[in-house]
């Protein structure tokens, strides 16, 4: 029992985490750079007594997840950017029917076919909805392979607790790179039971000994749909109040705070350390939950006159949420590249230095 | 006087009035499914998958567990439901637009995987819910909201014979086309639905029952004329009988 140290790429760590979390249904369609997840699931899911299906499309995959989840089974799919675009209708239905699910997006660069290099250009899609209707998914952005493992386990608990889809938003770098990590040995429950398992009395399992259950999002009567929407909004408010997660580094005395998530935050951290070595007071704020966005901590740290530099592998998506949270109190600058180009710590350091020197 | 009940509401039907138009086949087919489920004693283990179209709210009329599927994805949903609940009896209820147009991919692949589910496919040759547009099964020359001059081969191609297509697949074990145009046809339809459910109970794999059904509202015919048109036109293009 306990923890076991292994070496794995992020994609496999995510798949193993799902199995350790009690995920017993996976459907997916091949797309690079996340193919290690589907291959790992094909091999290991049947050994765990679960169901693996290679679907005919991402449309089918997300709707298979909907079917399994409607029966109360912990279910997951994974894909990369173009495939996630195809899943948006199904994700909206999951949100509307209040079905838990975990959806992994190992982002590649777009738009269109783009290429298979890492990117963070699906932030808007993940955080702002993606599909139709007033809904949110919880969005979690791990930065290391260990975090990818830990947060995938937690994602299943959160999905069940709040009855909504949770998106693990990684990128090709996180999916492909190997790092040592600790995994639960023999499914150690102290590690895998992040949230106590909830009885899903709403699930479709056959109406033996109870009234029939219907899992649906359709609300034909206008009042009924407003009621569902208000229920959803109330749930989202609770999540915003309780589930904002971020990690800070040198926040207390910083003159400039870099804001970055996922693998980008690793380069930003190197930049912060380099700036500190040069005697410059830099800090790092790394949002882990992208929805709910960690607005409270941003409000707190911008009470002082500091500078903010948002760094993304996109042309500026999360920066909009940072600006909303900061609400004009301090200046917010942005540095981003996407389409395969990855910002180096040196580029970030130079930009931050320039901002400090312009004072 | 001795009274004997000879007809009543099936246990698997709720006490509700359907929203269907006069002459529509959905109400009859819902009833047939309920009767079959009751006769097989499987109400407590059935999971129905309803899909988008006039009959998406069939769960308001049936009294057993149901899952609503996005448009066309009924067989993706059903595949997963059956795989995670192999002891339950799983069926989809799909229209021609849902199953043969937007869901053609899911239909073919679920059949080809030999998913152990039963498909009730209602073919009325139009989109009813959205206002009578052309379906893949619309007949050549048939006027609809989107073929105002009648369906032409040149512009819209041919009526899609999905049952014939599915019957070719190794994964499909039972495929039959029947019709709800007359009492005899309705009885045959019920027998086919029952055969489809039994097929699943016996673990024989994918079965599909195509049911020709009237849509008087969007055929612009009276219910009675609709029955004639089914016999004289629809059945010519879609011949009845067992295909596999």
CATH superfamily to which B26-242 belongs: Thiamin diphosphate (ThDP)-binding fold, Pyr/PP domains (3.40.50.970)
Model confidence at B214, pLDDT cuts 50, 70, 90, reads very high
How confident is residue B118, by pLDDT bands cut at 50, 70 and 90?
very high
Instruction: Tell whether A87 lies on the interface with B, counting CB pairs under 8 A.
Output: no
Task: Pull the structure tokens for residue A35.
Answer: 């193919």
| Nearest in space to A143 (alpha carbons), one of A239, A12, A287 | A287
A308: helix, coil or strand? strand
A68: number of Cβ within 10 Å: 31
What does residue A78 show for φ and ψ, rounded to 5 degrees? -140, 155
Report phi then psi at B179, rounded to 5: -150, 155
Q: Is the pLDDT of residue A2 over 90?
A: no
* Cβ-defined contact of A216 to B43 (cutoff 8 Å): no
Q: Which residue from A56, A61, A215 is facing B68, i.e. has the nearest CB?
A: A215
Please identify which residue in the block is written with the tokens 């999540």. Answer: A239
State whether B76 and A206 contact (CB < 8 Å): no
Distance CA A192, CA A60 (A): 29
Closest CA–CA distance from residue A95 to any residue of chain B (Å): 12
- Which chain B residue's Cα is nearest to A49? B84
Count CB-CB contacts under 10 A for residue B233. Answer: 15
Q: Residues 6 or more apart from A100 whose CB is under 8 A from it?
A: A69, A74, A75, A156, A159, A160, A162, A163, A164, A165, A166
Task: Report the largest interatomic distance among the alpha carbons of chain B, rounded to a whole angstrom.
Answer: 67
Task: Tell me the pLDDT tens digit for each residue of A310-356.
Answer: 999 999 999 999 999 999 999 999 999 999 889 999 999 999 999 99
Q: What is the pLDDT of chain B when averaged over all its residues?
A: 97
Question: Where are the domain boundaries for CATH 3.40.50.970 in chain A?
Answer: 3-242
Q: Which residue has 């997006």 as its token pair?
A: A105
Which of A3-12, A22-31, A190-199, A333-342 comes out lowest in average pLDDT? A190-199
The 10s digit of each residue's pLDDT in A167-177 is 999 999 999 99
Residue A189: pLDDT band (50, 70, 90) is confident
Render pLDDT for A29-51 as a digit per residue (tens, 0 to 9). Answer: 999 999 999 999 999 999 999 99
pLDDT of residue A222: 83
> Which of B46, B69, B80 is the closest to A206 by Cβ?
B46
Q: Is A68 at the interface with chain B, CB within 8 A?
A: yes
Show the CA angle centred on residue B76, arms to residues B173 and A110, nearest 5°.
Answer: 140
A215–chain B nearest CA distance, Å? 5
Q: What is the pLDDT of residue A1?
A: 64
pLDDT the model gives residue A339: 92
Tell me if chain B has a CB within 8 Å of the CB of A97: yes
DSSP strand E in A110-213: where?
115-118, 138-140, 165-171, 178-184
Which residue do the tokens 């937690």 mark? A154
pLDDT of residue A187: 73
Q: Does B78 touch chain A (CB under 8 A)?
A: yes
Contact B123, B210 (CB under 8 A): yes
- What is the rounded CA–CA span in Å between residue A250 and residue A252? 6
A174 close to A142: Cβ distance less than 8 angstroms: yes
pTM of the model: 0.97
Chain B CB contacts of A24 below 8 Å: 84
3-state secondary structure of A114: coil
* Cβ neighbours for B120, distance < 8 A, ≥ 6 positions apart: B29, B33, B91, B92, B93, B94, B193, B196, B209, B211
For chain A, the three-class secondary structure string (H helix, E strand, C coil) is CCEEEEEEEHHHHHHHHHHHCCCCEEEECCCCCCHHHHHHHHHHCHHHCCEEEECCCHHHHHHHHHHHHHCCCCEEEEECHHHHHHCHHHHHHHHHCCCCEEEEEEEEECCCCCEEEECCCCHHHHHHCCCCCCCCCEEECCCCHHHHHHHHHHHHHHHHHHCCEEEEEEEHHHHHCEEEEEEEHHHCHHHHCCCCCCCCCCCCCCCCCCCCCEECCCCCCHHHHHHHHHHHHHHHHHHHHHCCCEEEECCCCCCEEEECCCCHHHHHHHHHHHHHHCCCCEEEEEECEEECCCHHHHHHHCCCCCEEEEEECCCCCHHHHHHHHHCCCCCEEEEECCCCCCCCHHHHHHHHHHHHHCC
Helix (H, G, I), strand (E, B) or coil at A103: strand
pLDDT for residue A311: 98
Q: Which of residues 29-48 of B touch A (CB under 8 A)?
A: 43-47
Cα B213 to chain center, whole Å? Answer: 8
Q: Quick check: A194 pLDDT over 70?
A: no
Residue B194 has pLDDT above 70, yes or no: yes
Per-residue pLDDT tens over the stretch A237-246? 999 999 999 9
First to last CA, chain A: 56
Separation of alpha carbons B151 and B141, rounded Å? 5
Which residues are within 8 A (CB) of A273 and not within 5 positions of it... i.e. 6 or more apart?
Answer: none
* Chain A residues 134-193 with a CB less than 8 Å from chain B: none
- Choose, out of B53, B68, B94, the residue to mutate when testing the contact with A (most A CBs < 10 Å): B68
Task: Classify A305 as helix, strand or coil.
Answer: coil
Report the percent of chain B where pLDDT is more than 90: 98
Judged by CB atoms closer than 8 Å, whether chains meet at A212 and B66 is answered as yes
For residue A300, the tally of other CB atoms under 10 A from its CB is: 12
Task: Just give the CATH number of A3-242.
Answer: 3.40.50.970
Contact status of A210 with chain B (Cβ, < 8 Å): no
Buried b (16+ CB within 10 A) or exposed e, A221-244: eeeeeeebeeebeeebeebbeebb
Q: What is the mean pLDDT of residues B153-182?
A: 97
Q: How confident is the model at residue B166 (pLDDT cuts 50, 70, 90)?
A: very high
A60-76: average pLDDT: 98
3-class DSSP state of A257: strand
B102 touches chain A (CB under 8 A): no
**Which residues in chain A are classed under CATH 3.40.50.920?**
247-357
Separation between Cα atoms, residue A230 and residue A236, nearest integer Å: 10
Mean of the pLDDT values across residues A200-214? 97
Q: How far apart are CA B221 and CA B129, in angstroms?
A: 17
Determine whether the interchain pair A27/B78 forms a contact, defined as Cβ–Cβ distance below 8 Å.
no
Q: Which residues of A touch B81 (CB under 8 A)?
A: 67-68, 70-71, 204
- DSSP letter at B60? G
Q: What are the DSSP calls for A315-358, one per residue?
A: SSSHHHHHHHHHTTSS-EEEEE--SS----HHHHHHHHHHHHHT
Any chain B CB within 8 A of the CB of A88?
no
Nearest CB to B79 within list A67, A89, A204: A67
Under a CB-based contact definition with an 8 Å cutoff, are residues A264 and A311 in contact?
A: yes
Fold of A247-357: Rossmann fold (3.40.50)
Is B76 in the A-facing interface, judged by CB distances under 8 Å?
A: yes
Eight-class DSSP state of A144: S
pLDDT at A188: 77
Cβ-based contacts of B73 with chain A (< 8 Å): 59-60, 63, 66, 90
A206/B contact by beta carbon, under 8 A: yes
Residue from B63, B83, B92, B114 whose CB has the most chain A CBs within 10 Å, to mutate: B83
Alpha carbon of A56: minimum distance to chain B alpha carbons (Å): 7
Residues B46-72: tens digit of each pLDDT: 999 999 999 999 999 999 999 999 999
Does residue B4 register a pLDDT over 70? yes
Tell if the CB–CB gap between B66 and A216 is shorter than 8 Å.
yes
Contact A294, A245 (CB under 8 A): yes
Dist. CA A343–CA A346, nearest whole Å: 8
Hey, where are the domains in chain B?
26-242
Minimum distance, in Å, between the CA of residue B140 and any CA atom of chain A:
31
């Amino acid at each position: 029992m306990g923890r076991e140290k292994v070496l794995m790429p992020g994609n496999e760590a995510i798949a193993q985490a799902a199995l350790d979390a009690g995920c017993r249904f996976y459907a997916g369609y091949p797309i690079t750079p996340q193919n290690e997840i589907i291959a790992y699931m094909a091999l290991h899911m049947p050994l765990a007594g679960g169901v693996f299906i290679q679907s005919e499309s991402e449309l089918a995959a997300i709707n298979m997840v909907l079917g399994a989840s409607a029966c109360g089974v912990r279910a997951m799919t994974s894909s990369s950017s173009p495939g996630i675009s195809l899943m948006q209708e199904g994700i909206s239905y999951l949100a509307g029917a209040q079905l838990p699910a975990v959806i992994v997006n190992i982002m590649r660069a777009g738009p269109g076919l783009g290429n298979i290099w890492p990117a963070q250009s699906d932030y808007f899609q993940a955080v702002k909805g993606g599909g139709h209707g007033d809904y949110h998914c919880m969005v979690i952005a791990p930065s290391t392979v260990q975090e990818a493992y830990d947060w995938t386990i937690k994602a299943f608990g959160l999905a069940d607790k709040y009855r909504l889809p949770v998106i693990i938003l990684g990128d090709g770098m996180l999916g492909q790179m190997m790092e040592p990590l600790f995994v639960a040995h023999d499914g150690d429950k102290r590690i895998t039971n992040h949230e106590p398992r909830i009885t899903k009395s709403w699930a479709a399992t056959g109406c033996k000994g109870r009234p029939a259950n219907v899992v649906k999002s359709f609300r034909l009567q206008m009042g009924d749909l407003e009621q569902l929407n208000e229920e959803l909004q109330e749930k989202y408010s609770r999540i915003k109040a309780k589930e904002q997660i971020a990690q800070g580094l040198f926040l207390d005395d910083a003159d400039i705070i870099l804001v970055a998530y996922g693998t980008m935050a690793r380069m930003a951290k190197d930049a912060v350390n380099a700036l500190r070595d040069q005697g410059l007071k830099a800090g790092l704020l790394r949002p882990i939950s992208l929805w709910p966005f960690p607005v409270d901590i941003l409000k707190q740290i911008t009470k002082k006159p500091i500078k903010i530099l948002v760094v993304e592998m996109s042309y500026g998506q999360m920066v909009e949420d940072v600006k909303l949270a900061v609400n004009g109190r301090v200046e917010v600058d942005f540095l981003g590249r996407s389409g395969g180009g990855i910002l180096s710590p040196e580029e970030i350091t130079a930009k931050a230095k320039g901002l400090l020197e312009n004072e | 006087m001795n009274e004997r009940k000879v007809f009543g509401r099936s246990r698997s039907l709720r006490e509700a009035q359907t929203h269907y138009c006069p002459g529509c086949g959905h109400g009859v087919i819902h009833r047939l499914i309920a009767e079959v489920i009751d006769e097989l004693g499987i109400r407590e283990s059935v999971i129905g998958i309803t899909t988008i179209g006039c009959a998406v709210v069939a769960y308001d009329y049936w009294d057993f567990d149901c899952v609503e599927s996005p448009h066309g994805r009924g067989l993706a949903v059903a595949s997963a439901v059956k795989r995670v609940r192999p002891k339950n009896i799983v069926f989809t209820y799909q229209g021609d637009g849902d199953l043969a147009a937007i869901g053609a991919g899911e239909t073919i692949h679920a059949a080809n995987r030999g998913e152990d589910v039963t498909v009730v496919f209602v073919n009325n040759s139009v989109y009813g819910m959205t206002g009578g547009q052309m379906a893949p099964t619309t007949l050549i020359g048939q006027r609809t909201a989107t073929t105002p001059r009648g369906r032409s081969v040149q512009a819209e191609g041919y009526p899609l014979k999905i049952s014939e297509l599915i019957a070719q697949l190794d994964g499909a074990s039972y495929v039959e086309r029947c019709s709800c145009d007359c009492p005899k046809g309705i009885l045959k339809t019920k027998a086919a639905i029952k055969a489809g459910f039994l097929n699943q109970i016996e673990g024989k794999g994918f079965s599909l029952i195509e049911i020709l059904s009237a849509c008087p509202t969007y055929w612009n015919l009276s219910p009675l004329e609709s029955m004639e048109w089914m016999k004289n036109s629809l059945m010519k293009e879609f011949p009845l009988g067992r295909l596999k």
